[in-house]
Amino acid sequence: MLVRAEISRIRRETPSVKSFLLDLGGREFSFRPGQWVDFYLDLEGVRGVAGYTITSSPTTRDSIELTVRAAGENPVTSFLHEHAEVGETVYVDGGQGDFYYSEEMGGPLVLLAGGIGITPLVSILRYVHEGAIDTDATLVYSVRTPSEIVFRRELEEIDATNEDIRCVFTVTRPGQESWDGPTGRISAGLLREIPVNLDSLFYVCGPPPMGQDMTLVLKCMGARSDRIRYEQWW
């Protein structure tokens, strides 16, 4: 069922990523952390559609947040990055997808993100943090450059204030940007160094073939196949 919403805030996260807060106007909308929506927008009399992950937590009422990278040729994505303004009327349908977390699944959690694959995982992390879920959670987030770390300030604050949550960033191409943290892609060596609990429930989201690669790495390290979930983000 389509739900009408209004863009109430637009925030630039990185040079290529923006977050859009949608005011639901008190309308009923339910989802699980990690799921996505079909997002509809009327463009010159034609209704366009795109799929975006919900980055807010279900603990937040009356609004949802979508975080969108400027990529590809979808006219909805192009409009959001180039023309959208606060007050714009939009429509959402969801949440959808089998890549999600709920409290009854237990823990601990290890969330492995690559690039814009952070979006479903930050919803899960916010859910654990804001809902005071009684489980440990570790986020390991790989990006090309430090300036591409989406939600960096918020994630660093969560890491500093919640003793049950750790956030680790690794950069593959720091270039001329200042960086003194881990470098390279997420690897068995980095996961051992952190270290992560191999009895955890693992969530992996990033560009292909990250899901298959990390699944193989985790299995070789001793993680159980039925405790590994992954979703590719193109």
Residue ranges, CATH 3.40.50.80, the chain: 103-232
- The mean pLDDT of 26-50, rounded to a whole number, is 92
Residue ranges, CATH 2.40.30.10, the chain: 3-96
Model's pTM, two decimal places? 0.95
Give domain 3-96's CATH architecture. Answer: Beta Barrel (2.40)
Q: 44-78: per-residue pLDDT in tens?
A: 888 999 999 999 999 988 999 999 999 878 899 99
- The CA distance from 133 to 165, in Å, is 11
Identify the sign of the CA torsion 118, 120, 122, 124.
Answer: negative
The CATH number given to 103-232 is: 3.40.50.80
Burial of 26 (0-12, 13-18, 19+ CB in 10 A): exposed
Query: What average pLDDT is seen over the chain?
Result: 94
Is pLDDT of 209 > 90?
A: no
Q: Residue 126: helix, strand or coil by DSSP?
A: helix
User: pLDDT band for position 234 (50/70/90)?
Assistant: low
- The CA distance from 91 to 3, in Å, is 5
